[in-house]
Amino acid sequence: MKLKSLILGSVAAAGLSTAGFAADLGVLTSLDVCDSLGISGLTISSADNCLQITGEVKYEFNWGDYNGTFPGMGTATHAGTRNVMDNDSVTVNGVVYDNDWSSDVDSWLKFVGTASSDFGPASATIKIKNEHKVTVVNEGYAVPAAGGAAVYTAPAAANANVVIDEAYVSIGDTTVIMAGKKGSVANFGDDEPFNFLGLFNSDAVDKGVMFAKDLPYDGGHVIQVVSDLGNGVVVKGGLENLDSNATAAFGVGGYYDAVAGAQNAGTLVGVVEYAGDGITAHVTGMAGGILDGIVENWAVHAGVTGTFDMFKVRAAGAYSANNANDTHWNVLASAEATFDMFKIALSGEAAGGQNAGVAVATQTGIGGSIGATVTEGVSINLGGKWFDEDNNVANNESYQVAAQLVAAVSETIKITGEIGVYGTNKAAAVATAGQTDFYGAAELAWAPGGGFTSSVKGEVHQNGAYKVTFKAAKAFQ
C-alpha cells in the first residue's frame, strides 16, 4: 500500500466518525492542486494548497584506532588541515586505551506548501533537522591540558536538539523572490578536479577552490531574487547573513585578523550563471559586513567547465580580501580525455596571499590519473597527487599514490578496493624525514533500490591505524 493511500485512508476513517470531518474529507483528498502545480511525491492537498513532504535519514558508525594524525601532512596556513589517519593511545596504570568510535544519526524532514498566484507559485518551506552524534577517543581517556596523569572523561551527551534548518517563503516562476532562513544563492561549483584522487588543497576546502573559510558569512536570514533570463543565463542576488551568524569574533585562530562579530552582519551576494552548448560557468561576488555601512571583507568565486566530444576542461579561481590588508587566492585547472576504454585526467592547483600586507607561503600541487574499463562493470584507476606547502622552503612536500579496483558484482552490489601510500619529506618530532604510510581499503556497497543505500568499509595503515565504517541511508520524496 502506498504511503499516500495509507495517510489519506486514515484521514477518511477519522473523518467518517463525525459529520464535521466528513464535510472536510473531499477537500483533504483532492489532488487537483498538486497536479496543476506539477508537484509529485508524498503530497496532501486542500482546495488551493499542495503540501509536499520529503525527508532523509542517514546513519554512520565508525570503530578502530584512527584519531591520530600522520605527522608531516601538515596544516596549510589558510586552507584547512590535510591530515592522514593515524593511531594514538593513552596509557593509564600500564593499561593502554586506544580504541576510537563514533555513532552518528542525521535526519531531516521538509514541508513545502504551495499555491498558485498571479506571480507564479507561492510557497512556504519549513525544514527541521537533527544530528545525534557521540564520539569517543581513546575509550574516553585523555591527558589534561596542563599535563599530569591521564584521566577518564565521559563522552559528551549526544546533541538531541531538533532545529529549524530552513524557514522561508518564496513566490514566482522564471523570477523567484525568497525571504526567511535558508542557504545562500552563491554558486561555488565547476571547481572540482577530474583525477580520481583529487588534490590536497582541494580536499582541504571541501573539494575545489575557496577563499578564506567563512569569509564572508552567507546564508542564514536572507532576502533573495533568482531570475532565469533565458538562453541558459540565470542571475541571482541576495542580502544574506542578516542575523549576523558570526560568533563574538571573526577569524580567531584562522588566517584573518579578529573582527567583532556584529561588524560582519549582512552579506551582499551576486551571481551570474550560464549553462548551454557543452559549457557551464558562473561568477559569484560577495561583500560582507555591509549593515554597518562599511564593507569589512569581500570575495569572488568563478568556475567554467567545457565538454567537447572526448574532452573535458575546467578552470576555477577564488579571491578574498578584508580591510586589514589580508588577501587569499586559490586557483585550479583540470582536464580529462576519454578514449574508448581509457580515461586520462590531469589537474593542478595553487594558493597564496598576504597577511597584513605581508606575503605568505605560495603553495602548489598537481595530480593525475589513468582509468580503464577492463570488462563490463569492472574498472581500474591509477593515480597520484603531490603538494608543496611552501615553494620557498625545501623538504616541505607531501604525496599520495594509489591504485583502485571497482567491480559491480551485480546490479545492486559494488566492491571497491584500494591500495596506496602517503608520504612526505618533512621532518617530524618523532621521526626522520622521508616518512611513508602504506594503506589498504576495501568497501562493499549495496543499493537494492527504493532509495536505500548501505556500505561497509575497512581501512588499515602501516602507521598502525585502522578503521571500520558502516553507513546506511534512505531518502523519500
Evaluate whether 268 touches 290 at the Cβ level (below 8 Å).
yes
Rounded to two decimals, what is the model's pTM?
A: 0.85
Tell me which residue of 104, 102, 106 sits closest to 64, measured CA to CA: 102
Per-domain residue ranges for the chain?
47-65+99-172, 174-360, 362-477
Per-residue pLDDT tens for 375-423?
Answer: 989 999 999 999 998 888 888 888 999 999 999 999 999 999 999 999 8
Q: How far apart are CA 322 and CA 301, in angstroms?
A: 15
Per-residue pLDDT tens for 173-184?
Answer: 999 999 999 999
Q: How far apart are CA 80 and CA 74, in angstroms?
A: 9
Per-residue three-class SS string for 1-48: CCHHHHHHHHHHHHHCCCHHHHHHHHHHCCCHHHHHHCCCCEEEECCC
185: number of Cβ within 10 Å: 23
Evaluate whether 357 touches 209 at the Cβ level (below 8 Å).
no
Q: What is the pLDDT of residue 7?
A: 41
Q: 32 is written with which cell numbers?
A: 487537483
Task: Enumerate residue ranges in the chain where pLDDT < 70.
Answer: 1-31, 71-83, 144-148, 212-215, 245-261, 428-434
